[in-house]
């Protein structure tokens, strides 16, 4: 059986191949190893392999797991990729180096307040609901430009990029292309898109950050959004 450090190497090789096929530098793509639901002892082989970017979708889980791991492995970048509630923003700004899921004004205002209070500015990405799914987080595509403008002008935030999760069981490529196009129009450099099943497609569409969990750590015991 291949351990998680072996699977990490396989995913990295696939990222390099996909980048080269589309004429991109492999180093232009950052691999976020999504460690949600996995315990520190399961994450450590990937840390020992020298990997530095990790993703969690729950603030409380990140706060429980990562301070200890960070103490042993300096230089970690922790990405918050799950839906963020306003009452968790203080903890989120304290623990995360990047927040990928900014999608409403209340959140924007609260994040701005915490950045000022803590003197700590995580990288910020706006999540776009490219599939217009009622149950999914993210700002609607046709409202994204106005929202990014409000983040900048009303909330005084620096927005660094866009993120999306295409609907399950559809071709993700049109969603990735739409996000890439939107980012270009808004002068945003970072594109967080692509998961275990579709990261190569995302790279062909311009992803700068891919969020890969199960292809590295194995199947999660229970599905977590």
Ligand X SMILES: *Cc1c(COP(=O)(O)O)cnc(C)c1O
The residues of the shown chain that bind ligand X, judged by CB under 6 A, are 34, 36, 57, 81-82, 165, 195-196, 211-215
Nearer to ligand X, 109 or 198 (CB): 198
Chain residue at closest Cβ approach to ligand X: 213
Q: Tokens 């996995």 — which residue?
A: 38
Torsion of CA 140, 142, 147, 152, to 10 degrees: 130
Q: How far apart are CA 42 and CA 34, in angstroms?
A: 12
CB of 223 to ligand X, least distance (A): 9
Residues 6+ apart with CB under 8 A from 146: none
**Nearest residue (CB) to ligand X, 30 versus 109:** 30
Q: 3-state class of 85 per DSSP?
A: coil
Nearer residue to ligand X within complex by CB, 75 or 223: 223
To the nearest whole angstrom, how small is the minimum distance from the Cβ of residue 195 to ligand X?
4
The DSSP result for 135-182, as a single string, is: TS-SEEHHHHHHHHHHHHHTS-PPP-EEE--PPTTS-SHHHHHHHHHH
Minimum CB separation from ligand X for residue 119, in Å?
28
- The smaller minimum CB distance to ligand X, of residues 13 and 146, is found at 13
Which tokens sit at 116?
């000022």
| C-beta separation of 45 from 4 below 8 A | yes
CB of 219 to ligand X, least distance (A): 8
CA dihedral 137, 189, 90, 110 (to 10 degrees): -70
How many Cβ atoms sit within 10 Å of the Cβ of residue 219? Answer: 9
Q: Nearest approach, Cβ of 172 to ligand X (angstroms)? A: 12
Task: Compute the distance between CA of residue 106 and CA of residue 35 in angstroms, rounded to an integer.
Answer: 28
Distance CA 52, CA 176 (A): 25
Measured from the CB atom, is 79 or 155 closer to ligand X? 79
Q: Measured from the CB of residue 37, what is the shortest distance to ligand X in angstroms?
A: 8
Residue with Cβ nearer ligand X (36 or 88): 36
Taking the complex as a whole, the smallest distance from the CB of residue 158 to ligand X amounts, in Å, to: 22
Of 73 and 199, the one with the shorter C-beta distance to ligand X is 199
């Amino acid at each position: 059986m291949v351990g998680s450090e072996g699977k990490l190497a396989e995913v990295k090789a696939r990222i390099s191949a996909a980048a080269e096929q589309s004429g991109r530098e492999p180093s232009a793509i950052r691999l976020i190893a999504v460690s949600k639901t996995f315990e520190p002892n399961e994450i450590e082989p990937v840390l020992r392999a020298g990997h530095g970017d990790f993703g969690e979708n729950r603030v409380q889980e990140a706060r429980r797991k990562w301070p200890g791991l960070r103490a042993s492995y300096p230089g970690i970048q922790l990405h918050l990729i799950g839906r963020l509630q306003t009452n968790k923003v203080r903890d989120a700004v304290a623990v995360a180096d990047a927040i990928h899921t900014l999608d409403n004004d209340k959140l924007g205002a609260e994040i701005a307040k915490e950045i000022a209070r803590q003197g700590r500015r995580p990288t910020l990405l706006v999540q776009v609901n490219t599939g217009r799914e009622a149950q999914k987080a993210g700002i609607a595509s046709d409202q994204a430009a106005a929202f990014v403008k409000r983040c900048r002008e009303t909330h005084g935030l620096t927005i660094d990029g866009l993120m999306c999760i295409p609907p399950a069981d559809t071709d993700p490529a049109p969603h990735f292309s739409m996000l890439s196009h939107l980012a270009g129009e808004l002068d945003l450099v970072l594109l967080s898109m692509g998961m275990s099943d579709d990261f190569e497609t995302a790279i062909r569409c311009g992803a700068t950050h891919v969020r890969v969990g199960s292809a590295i750590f194995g199947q999660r015991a229970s599905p977590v959004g």
